Structure 1
Amino acid sequence: MSKLAKFIAGISFTLIVLLIAVIILSYKLVTRSHPQIDGELKSHLLIDSVYIYRDEYGIPHIFAKNEHDLYFALGYVTAQDRLWQMDLSRRIAAGRLSEIFGVDALEVDKLFRTLSLNETAKKMQKYLSEKSIEILKSYSDGVNYFIQTHKGNYPIEFKLLKYEPEEWSITDCLLITRLIAWQLNFAWLTEPVFSEILSKVGEEKFRKIVPQYPENAPLIIKKYVPPSSKFVEANMRFREMFGMLSDGLGSNSWVVSGEKSASGKPMLANDPHLPHSLPSIWYQVHLNNGGLDVVGVCIPGTPGIVIGRNNYIAWGLTNVMLDDTDFYIEKIDSSGTKYLYNGKWVQLTEREEEINVRGKGKYKFKVLSTHRGPIISDVYNFSFTGYARDLDSKYIPSQAVSMQWTGNLISDEVLAFYKINRAKNWEEFKEGLKFFTVPAQNFIYADIYGNIGYYCAGKIPVRKNLNPLLLNPGETSDFDWVDFVPFNLQPNLLNPPENFIATANNKTVPDNYPYYISYLWEPESRAMRINEFLSSKGKLSIDDFKSLQLDYFSHYARELTPYIIRAFENIDVKESLVKEGLDYLKRWNYNFSRDDIATTIFNAFLVEMMKNTFEDELGQGLYKKFVFYSGIPLRVLKQLITENDTLWFDDVRTKNKIETRDEIIRESFLKSMFDLKKQLGDDILTWHWGKVHKLELVHPLGLRKPLDKIFNLGPFEIGGAGTTVNNAGFSLLKPFNCVLGPSMRQIVNFSENLLYSVIPAGASGQIMSQFYDNQTRLYLNGEYVKIEMRLESLKNKKTTKILKIVPQE
């Protein structure tokens, strides 16, 4: 061997050795923060011994002898698996992201400081029940036990961002509950944007896009019987920053009685649809202290099972889509310290906020509030020209906009779920719901006695005068909230004659219900499919429930596709590609499967049709706001197409021509077909939906390269879209990658002592853990983890790991 060859071989060997060393060191650096899941630990904070059984999926089963130890252990194991996720959530809610991310997060921090979540959480803490304080204190002690005993061995995210976690507090738990409430709020976008649209297009066009709910679409309760703009932009920035672009948030749930169940026992299914993220939003856990035996999912950072079952009842949740937020245009005096209200100048409340911005120092600003809530004008610059009901435009120069939201009410959701987790019947379940305030949820229910039920829980505002789509004039009390719907008058249902109840963010009650709930309903497509499926079958099995949760049929596509086909009737279509695309739609079964071609064609058309219908009137900026949450735009587009309203289809940029609906359909279809050809190639046989519609589970640090290769999972080809039961929503602004879907799937059958459950990733939030992504393939393949509730079953499995925490003397 020559000297050169020997030199090259030596260098190569050295580089390989160095590479191996770097890999080993990196692996050790990352994995040294992985939790201890067997053996024994000691804590002076425990009353008695606690056993934590980890099954083969890393899901903790906590067995304690008292409540204090149970919640202490829950806080500890959640911190073991999800500490950085918990810390990130409390930082978002408290407006403290800039401390770790720098100036890029300042806009989001200013938003959350203005929303005053931290102030609300502190106020809530003063009014919590003694039981809630006990639970939160025990939970926080468990989190802090982990933090105190793992200094230097925190999850890798802390090292990469060069900071350490602060101790956990009761306020932090409450902050996270309010953050979830804000994420499930939709009126933050619609009312400001609709006001801006009215200003832009005028009253005639505006009236055409007021969303309606079809008369024949499903209701949750079929019959009601009465008893004897920087703000928007900052919110968009927050949601974009954390991958929350979506074509509508939503969820499915249904429950059937023993009359419709193959087992003769009630069955319940639930799959909340939320933006995909890493780690998963839900944490699966089983809690047992002798008197309590409950399994399901909780939100990391908060105690208690949010969705799940115990030995007596099961429950699931979907978003009511409640209109729980109102905006008011306030007249401010020349000093900027008072606002006009019912003919008097009232003092604004003032609070100074200080944000520590990494690498930049301190940023200070003031938050002003009226009796309704904070002035959010400094966060969002509303651009309109006086289209607020009864507001004289001469007041516009001195305007400010305030916001009223149910999330700023004082409440005790910890006590609500404490009672729900322990409920043994319908009446005890309802006792828990009385304490639930925000975000309003559709609770479905089943019990071992054969009962099934539904309750619309949460505070529903009663307005003095209703002005649901637009900003309100603030100088009068005419549009104030005057009360909340009494709990016993909130929509509810027990044992309906249909022997099933289904919710899919559809309209709750018929129009004769005396109180206003919302106009924010999701397109009725999912609700129609669920009701159709449950009605068409006699006895339903677990496999039927699984099949329905995985269903890709779209009623929305079935309704709109004929309009596309008819638009080309009697038209000489010369492009062979267009003819071929139409042929696929004519033969289509409206099933959005991963390998389907017509699905690709339809959704490409839908994106283009939406743009061609609205963007010319609205302009790019306002159009982006309008379709950011596309639940309403999807409803409105279908409404305009079916009613054949030329007013919106006419392209205002063509001066001497009035375009018809069918012309815009043809233009959109042609453009979408040739865009697909450019993207996917000439052979239409290869245009499978999964090629353009992919799911990638993205960690906050994986938003930047090259960390995406380390933290993220996927992309995976999947089927579905926002109008299918198996929701796989994509953003109309960034088609077609899936950004939303079932954040977990759950099925309960009271003939079995277990829970069918699956989440998109895994129990652990720590990379390189065996539990980081070990449910992903199950999730993608439509499979489930069987979470056992029987202690003997756990003890008898060889894969079970047991961690014992004992009192330290």
Structure 2
Amino acid sequence: MSRSRRLGLVGAAALLLVAGLLVPSQAQGTGVERYRVEGLDSPVRINVDEWGVPHIFARSSEDAFFAQGWNVARDRLFQIDLWRRRGLGQLSEVFGPDYVEQDRAARLFLYQGDMEDEWAAYGEGAEEMATRFAAGINAYIDWLEDNPEALPPEFRLLDYFPDRWAPEDAVRNRTHGLTRGVSNEVSLARGLACRGRLDLDPLRERYEPDHTTRVPEGLDPCSIPADVLDVYDLATSSVRFTGDAARPLTVEDRPDFEPGSNNWVVSADKTATGRPILANDPHRAHENPSLRYITHLSSPELDVIGAGEPGLPGISIGHNGTAAFGLTIFAVDEADLYVYELDETNERYLYQGEWEPFEVRPTEIDVRGGGTETHDLVFTRHGPVTLVDEENHRAYAVRTVWTEPGTAPYFGSSGYMNARSWDDFTDAMSRWATPGENQVYADVHGDIGWQPGGKAPVRVGFDGLLPVPGDGRYEWAGFRGIEEFPSLFNPPEGFAATANQFNAQDDSRFGYIWSDPIRKNRIDEVLAADDDHTVQESAALQSDILNIRTREIMGMAGALDPADPVTAQALEFMRGYDFREEVGSPHALLYRGYWETRINQAVKAELVAPDDLDEFGNLDWLVVEDALRDPEAWFDGGAATRDELLLTSLRDAFTAAQAGHGDDPSQWAYRGVTVGWNHRLGDLMPDWDIPSVQMPGSGGNPLASAAASFKMVLDVGRWDNSIALNVPGQSGVPGSRHYDDLVERWSTWDYFPLLYSRGAIERHTEQRIMLVPRHDRG
């Protein structure tokens, strides 16, 4: 039984009390805050700089990780407590019976294997690292018990006290990772495959490498229920709060954009300083607080700085004084849906010609106000059962790499954090599991490289694009070794860049569905043309809002001479476009708001029979681009058809824009992308929400406005010249000076220095904290 308990605050009284208990701004000046803590071996100094970055100086790495846990609890306790509870399936314990189903779903996808195997999979020191990190969090919670006035206000509002951590809590939780594959299987099966129209699939999704899928033998795609992934979606969803007192917690809607990322590394031969530059801006949903937290850990054994997941020890993006590293998603297909035939009792499934019983594992869920409930978790040999269709005697299970040891998302960084060479780094990447990542690398010796890694299943007899029968015909035969992944070391181009695009060298061993290469193509274009690249230019590239697709389309349309006066006016207007998606740009409004979609639909109307137009939405833009570039191969009328559809769609877009924004196109204005940072309790405490801002750009340029909350550019070897951003701020505590102090910087691309040297840190220290072992009287 957990030792979580109520605080005794309910209803309006809790709201009134919390309103008066916002944590004050952090003290500035040279005074030292001293804390005596249990479990620390030697004193630890924490210098918090003026941008909220903690620089932790310890006499051992063990104490550094302990202090990291203590400090992240100081800044992000509610965030990591909710993350832990959601992942471990312990929401009901503090929020009541409405969350039993979400807890059960989460527990289905927890790591269930042997913990010795789990720790060993990450390499030497991983268990000690997690143990010390958890001990540090617990030490801060111990301090809160003696100092309840400092408890973050969210706990008072929700009337519970944070629970203590076990070392394995951080790694058994898998469901926050960006594992992919299974949702597309279901949508394709229920859609085109069920209708017998897989011939249209290459227009819906451009597989890379080129590939034609087929329905696996023994699968009825129409049998896949609409709710087959409800449990999986519940297990992998985040949570937020509403003002409904009867049910204050609800499943959060999934983001309506695809998470992505950019990273690149530039060799010394192509920079102005003769030193490598490494840049990274991982794209994920904006949250309050940020999904990442910047930390500096310094001890005799390691000296690393950068960003990591708040609930994990160490960092995953940054540098260690010798080597730098940054990541983006490498789209390994890591999950499959299995379909089983059941016997008449619905208690056994058919596997290799014999009936095999389900594995049933009871789990006890503590429920606030309701005691303890026992629920069964049901598994096949492939993974958790998400649905049993008793009427039709079928069951469905999701197989993911999560069941394997060493697959805690991002914890693989424990292996490369202290790498001193390319060989060290690639050795560590051989143990990286989830999510699949492109890692770029640079070091003070002048070496640069790109090395992806991940847990990539070896599928036998199927491609992973549709569900498969679970009768033994479609299995995984282990996982790809690091030697099977592509890589680059000191490439002749002088740079390497990734943006989640297909970069597996026509190799289908990892998956077929990748991000649009539009961001990567723009990054390559800029870096290839620059032989004296600078940190500031990398920062500018992270904020680049030029859409190369618009430029290419105008390259085709701009030379045309339409007879229709409205079309001619529209085309002349677009000829004045610089292809930058600025807020306020009338051209960006016409293209983004009206023309782009019409181009896609016009190409679709040419390529798809009228009776099939409703089978799916837009075409894959890679298909559209191919058709526009090579019209003779795609359209019956060749270039004439291409030109006509461009002009007709432009005319329609122009008249629609006039109807919506007035006849004078010079007065139109692109609104850009709205980015906001609502607190999870913002419906109850509106003052905790952070006002949104309008950002330029779209998903079609490197800025990817709605995505990157953390950015960094590293000057390899002159580390104090490195810069970073993390929005809305480093602290998750409402009322803290660092709760939202980085919003303006982020929205104007005003990076702060990512300081590394002792002298620079001292000059910019805002808050000084000393952690002293409880037995130390010094």
**Distance (Å, rounded) in 2 between the aligned partners of 1:439 and 1:618:** 36
Deviations 1:533-561 (A, max 9, x none): 11111121112111111101122333456
**Measured at CA, do residues 265 and 82 of structure 1 come closer, stay the same or move farther in structure 2, by a change above 3 Å?**
same
**Distance (Å, rounded) in 1 between the aligned partners of 2:514 and 2:569:** 35
Deviations 1:170-199 (A, max 9, x none): 1221145x2332xx1231321111111224
Deviations 1:295-345 (A, max 9, x none): 101211110111100111000101001111122222122211221122222
CA contact (8 A) 2:590 2:657 kept: no
**Measured at CA, do residues 188 and 681 of structure 1 come closer, stay the same or move farther in structure 2, by a change above 3 Å?**
farther
Residue from 509, 515, 530 that aligns with 2:523: 530
Residue from 95, 98, 106 that aligns with 2:89: 95
Structure 1 position 780 matched with structure 2 position 744: no
**Distance (Å, rounded) in 2 between the aligned partners of 1:566 and 1:106:** 62
**Distance (Å, rounded) in 2 between the aligned partners of 1:101 and 1:688:** 45
**Distance (Å, rounded) in 2 between the aligned partners of 1:43 and 1:776:** 34
CA contact (8 A) 1:297 1:305 kept: yes
**Distance (Å, rounded) in 2 between the aligned partners of 1:608 and 1:164:** 54
**Distance (Å, rounded) in 2 between the aligned partners of 1:669 and 1:117:** 54
**Distance (Å, rounded) in 2 between the aligned partners of 1:592 and 1:431:** 42
**Measured at CA, do residues 33 and 786 of structure 1 come closer, stay the same or move farther in structure 2, by a change above 3 Å?**
closer
Secondary structure at 1:277 match in 2? coil
Q: Tell me by how many angstroms 1:417 deviates.
A: 2.6
Q: Tell me by how many angstroms 1:434 deviates.
A: 2.3
1:308 match: 318
Which has the larger displacement, 583-592 or 294-303? 583-592
1:448 match: 444
**Distance (Å, rounded) in 1 between the aligned partners of 2:490 and 2:345:** 59
% identical equivalent positions = 26
Q: CA RMSD in A?
A: 3.8
CA contact (8 A) 2:87 2:176 kept: no
1:42 match: 36
**Distance (Å, rounded) in 2 between the aligned partners of 1:567 and 1:160:** 63
1:198 match: 192
Q: Quick one: which amino acid aligns to residue 709 of structure 2?
A: S
Q: Quick one: which amino acid aligns to residue 696 of structure 1?
A: G
The TM-score normalised by the length of structure 2 is 0.83
Q: Tell me by how many angstroms 1:765 deviates.
A: 0.2
1:688 match: 669
Secondary structure at 2:770 match in 1? strand
Structure 1 position 419 matched with structure 2 position 415: yes
Which protein is richer in helix relative to its size? 1
- Residue correspondences, number: 717
**Distance (Å, rounded) in 2 between the aligned partners of 1:317 and 1:534:** 18
Residue from 584, 594, 618 that aligns with 1:595: 584
**Distance (Å, rounded) in 1 between the aligned partners of 2:337 and 2:71:** 41
Structure 1 position 132 matched with structure 2 position 121: no
**Distance (Å, rounded) in 1 between the aligned partners of 2:620 and 2:97:** 33
Secondary structure at 1:720 match in 2? coil
Secondary structure at 2:325 match in 1? strand
CA contact (8 A) 2:192 2:198 kept: no
**Distance (Å, rounded) in 2 between the aligned partners of 1:636 and 1:364:** 51
**Distance (Å, rounded) in 1 between the aligned partners of 2:613 and 2:163:** 45
1:112 match: 106
**Distance (Å, rounded) in 1 between the aligned partners of 2:654 and 2:141:** 53
**Measured at CA, do residues 610 and 406 of structure 1 come closer, stay the same or move farther in structure 2, by a change above 3 Å?**
farther
Q: Tell me by how many angstroms 1:400 deviates.
A: 2.1
Deviations 1:754-775 (A, max 9, x none): 3311112111001111101111
2:165 match: 168
Structure 1 position 800 matched with structure 2 position 766: yes
2:22 match: 30
Residue from 686, 699, 708 that aligns with 1:722: 699
Structure 1 position 521 matched with structure 2 position 487: no
**Measured at CA, do residues 608 and 158 of structure 1 come closer, stay the same or move farther in structure 2, by a change above 3 Å?**
farther
**Distance (Å, rounded) in 2 between the aligned partners of 1:117 and 1:33:** 38
**Measured at CA, do residues 665 and 636 of structure 1 come closer, stay the same or move farther in structure 2, by a change above 3 Å?**
farther
**Distance (Å, rounded) in 2 between the aligned partners of 1:596 and 1:280:** 30
Which has the larger displacement, 430-439 or 76-85? 430-439
Q: Tell me by how many angstroms 1:76 deviates.
A: 0.4
CA contact (8 A) 1:68 1:134 kept: yes
Q: Quick one: which amino acid aligns to residue 469 of structure 1?
A: L
Q: Quick one: which amino acid aligns to residue 265 of structure 2?
A: V
CA contact (8 A) 1:34 1:80 kept: no
Secondary structure at 2:284 match in 1? strand
Q: Tell me by how many angstroms 1:118 deviates.
A: 5.1
CA contact (8 A) 1:121 1:174 kept: no
Q: Quick one: which amino acid aligns to residue 698 of structure 1?
A: N
2:349 match: 339
Residue from 443, 467, 470 that aligns with 2:466: 470
Structure 2 portions without partners, runs of 5+: 1-13, 211-225, 240-250
CA contact (8 A) 1:260 1:499 kept: yes
**Distance (Å, rounded) in 2 between the aligned partners of 1:581 and 1:362:** 67
Q: Tell me by how many angstroms 1:41 deviates.
A: 1.1
CA contact (8 A) 2:25 2:737 kept: no
Secondary structure at 1:83 match in 2? helix
Residue from 80, 89, 93 that aligns with 1:86: 80
Q: Tell me by how many angstroms 1:360 deviates.
A: 7.6
CA contact (8 A) 1:121 1:175 kept: no
CA contact (8 A) 2:444 2:716 kept: yes
Residue from 65, 68, 77 that aligns with 1:71: 65
1:751-766 matches, within 5 Å, as 751-754=717-720, 755-766=722-733
Q: Quick one: which amino acid aligns to residue 434 of structure 1?
A: S
CA contact (8 A) 2:75 2:730 kept: yes
Deviations 1:336-386 (A, max 9, x none): 1221122222222123355556678877654322211122235xx9xxxxx
2:218 match: none
Residue from 791, 797, 801 that aligns with 2:758: 791
CA contact (8 A) 1:71 1:138 kept: yes
